[in-house]
Amino acid sequence: MSEERIGFVGLGMMGMPMSRNLVEAGYAVTVFDLDGAAIDQALTFGASSASTGSEVAAQSGIIITMVPDSPHVEAAIAGPDGILEGVMAGSVVIDMSTISPATGKKMAALLEEKSVNFVDAPVTGGVEGAEAGTLSILVGGNAEAFERTLPVLNVLGGNVTHMGPVGSGHTTKIANQLIGVATLAGISEAFVLAKKAGLDLQLFFDAVKNGAGRSWALETLGPKILKGDFSPGFMVKHMQKDLRLAAQLAADTGTSIPTTSLIAQLYHSIQAEGPDATSQGHQALIQAIEKLSNAEARA
């Protein structure tokens, strides 16, 4: 068993399998989540629990946060009973959420006052990658903190890249999301066009999946779309959040992102379908194209 004790705050769709992988790798892991049932589930695979983020931090040399959005990270670290209240000098806090780089830098400054390093290490690869320990992890932080956390990150991901100082990981993840969502939009348009033009969609998919348009999105989400499977590996509402972060970063840097802006509007049209629509997988983007085209792209 590793001597490094790990704290884990946030046991959602990604955090639960990630914490399990750390336990199975031999780490002592103390967890906290606002959902008591999630904590109970973590206890079944060998994690121990704490009643607050502060208690997690007091027991851990490396503390990981994996929560939905920037305000949740602020609450987990700097809120009442948060990590900042219990963290020990010399510890490292790793935020693996997808949040604003500005929020990450703000948390880093607060932690630095307590002689604690901050690393931003958002991930890409979805729930499947979290379960398999094959996530791509995009890291920002100083070299010393990166080297200390690398053995832990290597348990969680198959491709760990140090991108630069604090904020670089969050910035890389936001830019990465633009690539992924633009690819998904292209797949959606292609499937609907092929359907309306009379092609057999399964045959179309099989013909193009290894061609110039090959991508993770086509290989992973294409078959789900063809089956009408919109169960979430990554929810619409989380992609909407990421696109909001992209819009803010674009505004801050004076960057034009017209394609991304259009896709954000397409997701808003899905949101308008009702309160449950944004809990679908983000492959539901095709539903907006189907509605505009009056066609359903299924095999």
Q: What DSSP string describes 35-72?
A: -HHHHHHHHHTT-EE-SSHHHHHHT-SEEEE--SSHHH
Tokens 């053995």 sit on residue: 151
Q: Tell me the two tokens of residue 262.
A: 């259009």
Q: Tell me the two tokens of residue 173.
A: 């993840």
Q: Tell me the two tokens of residue 272.
A: 């308008």
User: Is 61 exposed, middle or buried (CB count within 10 Å of its CB: 0-12, 13-18, 19+)?
Assistant: middle
* SS3 of residue 137 by DSSP: strand
Q: Render the burial of 180-212: b for 16+ CB within 10 Å, e for the rest.
A: bbbbbbebbbbbbebbeeeeebeebbeebeeee
Contacts 24+ apart (CB under 8 A), 105-113: 105/166, 105/167, 106/74, 107/73, 107/74, 107/77, 107/78, 108/166, 110/77, 110/78, 110/84, 111/77, 111/84, 111/87
Residues taking part in catalysis = 173
Contact 119, 149 (CB under 8 A): yes
Residue 164: left (phi > 0), alpha (psi -120 to 50), or beta?
left
- Give start and end residues of each alpha helix (H) in 113-167: 126-132, 143-156
